[in-house]
Chain A
Amino acid sequence: HYFRYDEHVSLCLEKLRSPQSPNPLCPSQQKYVRCSVRAQIRHLRRVLCHRLGLSLQHVQILFDNEPLPDHMTMKQLWLSRWFGK
């Protein structure tokens, strides 16, 4: 488990405001995230929930408006959506 020596990917997160969102103001302006290719969507969700002070069911990670599966790794995400881009 030496995640820190893994390859890393960088993501740019864009906030999609839901109409029923209780807190439409984003407390953090930071939108770039970098992490191990072995991190999964569920890990990123947990981290974002913690940062935003929201519960897990209020944070979803989407790609092209489609929710990404919790167990998808960053590497799978990269290869399936951004390979060669």
Chain B
Amino acid sequence: MRDKTMSLEDFASAIEPGATVGIGGWGSRRKPMALVRALLRTDVTDLTVVSLGGPDVGLLCAAGKVRRLVYGFVSLDSIALDPHFRAARESGAVETAEYDEGMFVAGLRAAAQRLSFLPTRAGLGSDVLTMNPDLRTVSSPYDDEEYVAMPALRMDVALIHLNRADAAGNGQYLGPDPYFDDLYAMAADRCYLSCERIVPTGDLVRDAPVQSLLVSRMHVTGVVETPRGAHFTSCVPDYDRDEAFQREYAGAAKDPAAWRRFEESFLRGDEADYRAAVAGFHDAGGTGGAGIPGCAGRIGETDGPRGTRGIGERRG
């Protein structure tokens, strides 16, 4: 088996301007944040980002790297909306394609199957069809029903983060939810997999069931070992979301001066610098919020993900 391990810098230099980039995980859960931070350190721009979005989308929007955003939602889970996403929408800074979450998943499945579309009931009668005038319907050849023909969300590159992988790109999740990372891997021409730890192939199923092997090396181009590489999103069971740091991020995002300070503190160096700065934030007793009170999103207002879904549910 070929050794596909690479550095964050190797990964970042492999992403072309104008690429369509799918980002795995969900909201503020197991996002490939170290890969996103590596992209922030390049001059790559004009990206189309396809994501069930969280701070991955927020950071790329804030850095001016996104031309078009294709999403089912953009949420920080415990905070209802990513402030950078909200600002991008309210200022008209990015083109958007907003889909029902089930439609989005149908688009991933279509792309993974190399189909041009898949039929779905979701979207019929709603303004999703108004907001995406390119959407077409398809008539059933068997009865009088007509469905939304959800187009394939095909990508140039997929970025995913898993708990473990081997050097050849066999990837493993150890938490309760695979999200859709296997579909992203199959829906893209190239997939870059970051993981908490690269282990020998034989170790993958030593303490975990074979069902945890989510992604096969067939669909993986490069493997990057990035401990804490999903920070500040959750990567259960390795670590939970860093709520204090996420509050710091969201608070800073609401104010240009505070955001510049956040960038200076956390996003100016390499990944090692980032980890050191985060450790410093916690050593200084950081509780988050960038000094802005009441920065936590209102919970339970709408059909939110886990923050709102814990009392209620995570999604529509």
Are A and B subunits of one complex? no
